[in-house]
Amino acid sequence: MSVPTTDSLDTIYSTSSLLKQSQRYDGIITKFKELYHESPEFIVRSPGRVNIIGEHIDYSGFGVLPMAIERDVVQAVSTTDKNTAVHVANTIASKYPARSFDYQGKDTVVTIDATKLEWSNYFKCGYKGMLERAQVPPKGMNVLVDGTVPAGSGLSSSAAFVCSSALAVVTANQLDLSKQELTEIAIVAERNVGVNSGGMDQAASVFSEKNFALHVEFVPRLATQPVQLPLGACFVIAHTLVTADKFTSGPRHYNLRVVETKIGARILGRCLFGSDSTLDTYKEVMDRYFQDKLQVSEADQMTELLALVETHLTHKDRGYTQQEMADAVGLPEQTMVAEYMTRFPVETETFHLYKRAHHVLTEARRVLQFVATCEHASQHPDSVLEKLGGLMNESHTSCDTMFDCSCPELNAVCSLAREHGALGARLTGAGWGGASVLLTTQDKVPTLIHAIKDNYYRQKFPELNDDQLNDAIFPTEPCSGATIFTGFDHT
């Protein structure tokens, strides 16, 4: 299945935002003409996402449950056969100045300097990823980018940008690519900007369907399943306005967690299967351990694996030093560093393998419980939302206390939300700032939003005007994934 093409914005956006979106698209087209003195040939869009549950487990191979949001990255594009130059401009030129580059041949495609925080690198990631597999020199492109996903908010602005760039390049060069291939390439491509990302965001951005959450699984291969959310469930996104920049803080936060979970899994694998085991995700370890016991449900497998973690991952409170970790993994320290910490360096004295494993396995189990609860919602309509909310609250506590990826502001917003009508409240995305996702019912949305505005934003950010406040906290519905839009006047 390839990415759908539509000529009508109402297949993408909700009725309530159609007018605003069509004005936005008109504005992008006008600006494109001013800039490049021609009309765009097509427009692509890829959305951000909010992760309802399943945090920091995608890179351990476990399934997650995001949904796409309306906020997205839109790119208007024209092409030429005359040359292979690419011009990329942004509607916020003052913040994101226009850049140009040229195709550097089949082997290099384009050089990306990952040591610099440079907005056009995200475009180049999509460009490189797609053209590495193309047979012929690509077309030249004029591109205008317009993004509405707040950066550093945990709503996946980067994946929305990389996926829309990839889609722009695919469409411009008429490459025949399925959604699956596009997603898989975008996942690998995003690593070119220096973040060892999992695959949830790109999958959500490409595969989501309007009105459904998306159960994304990664093993044995990327697979997605739409999940109907129970009637009456309303989600609100509240951004803490603490910017979490994965690129800059990677060595102490995101990339370090990837190392802690991979090495933890490798040690567990060695304890269970002998010293030549090199498995380094908990999902691989679990699948191997239970390969002959397929009658054990996945949730029970997770519980049993957790008991094995209790036994085998020691130093529970104080964590491991680098040397202790190398000893446990059976590698000389330098070899372990070369294998796990060179492409994405880390900065720490202590590696908390047990706490991270505990979070990963309980969180993976919560995702399964959440999906099952949604699937059986009609059997217990009165308690379903409380149950889902409870799982979200447990998830937040685990992120905070075992995965250490929350922060005081996220904890404050989540507690306030629970006091004012949220059944569940948790950080969403990588954490360390960024956004939270709150589950409530329609009747409570206004009070909930009002209370958080009064007790969080107006206290901490009194300078914010109403528009900025409405940008920080807003209700959201499951939206459609990546789309090619051609329904505009091409003259």
The binding site for ligand NG1 (CB under 6 A) comprises: 51, 55-56, 58-59, 154, 156, 158-159, 190, 195, 197-198, 200-201, 246, 429-430
Q: Minimum Å distance from CB 430 to ligand NG1?
A: 3
| Tokens encoding 137 | 């020199």
| Tokens encoding 336 | 């372990």
Give the residue with the Cβ less far from ligand NG1, 75 or 395: 395
Q: Minimum Å distance from CB 321 to ligand NG1?
A: 26
Q: Minimum Å distance from CB 34 to ligand NG1?
A: 32
Give the residue with the Cβ less far from ligand NG1, 66 or 269: 66
Would you give the DSSP letter of residue 16?
G
**Phi/psi of residue 284, each to 5°?**
-65, -40
Distance between CA atoms of residues 487 and 335, nearest Å: 55
Helical residues (DSSP H) of 79-178, grouped into ranges = 120-131, 157-172
Beta bridge partners of 163: none
Q: Is 107 a catalytic site residue?
A: no
Distance between CA atoms of residues 30 and 171, nearest Å: 21
Distance between CA atoms of residues 306 and 300, nearest Å: 10
Give the residue with the Cβ less far from ligand NG1, 120 or 156: 156
Q: Minimum Å distance from CB 75 to ligand NG1?
A: 18
Distance between CA atoms of residues 55 and 240, nearest Å: 17
Give the residue with the Cβ less far from ligand NG1, 140 or 198: 198
Distance between CA atoms of residues 357 and 267, nearest Å: 11
Q: Minimum Å distance from CB 486 to ligand NG1?
A: 29
Place of tokens 């939270």: 436
Give the residue with the Cβ less far from ligand NG1, 59 or 235: 59
Give the residue with the Cβ less far from ligand NG1, 215 or 420: 215
Distance between CA atoms of residues 392 and 375, nearest Å: 17
Q: Minimum Å distance from CB 187 to ligand NG1?
A: 8
Per the residue annotation, which of 58, 72, 146, 201 is the catalytic one?
Answer: 201
Distance between CA atoms of residues 402 and 463, nearest Å: 35
Beta bridge partners of 99: 88
Question: Residue 78: enclosing H or E segment and its boundaries?
Answer: strand 65-80
Residue 70 contacts residue 476 (beta carbons within 8 Å) = yes
So which residues are the catalytic ones? 201
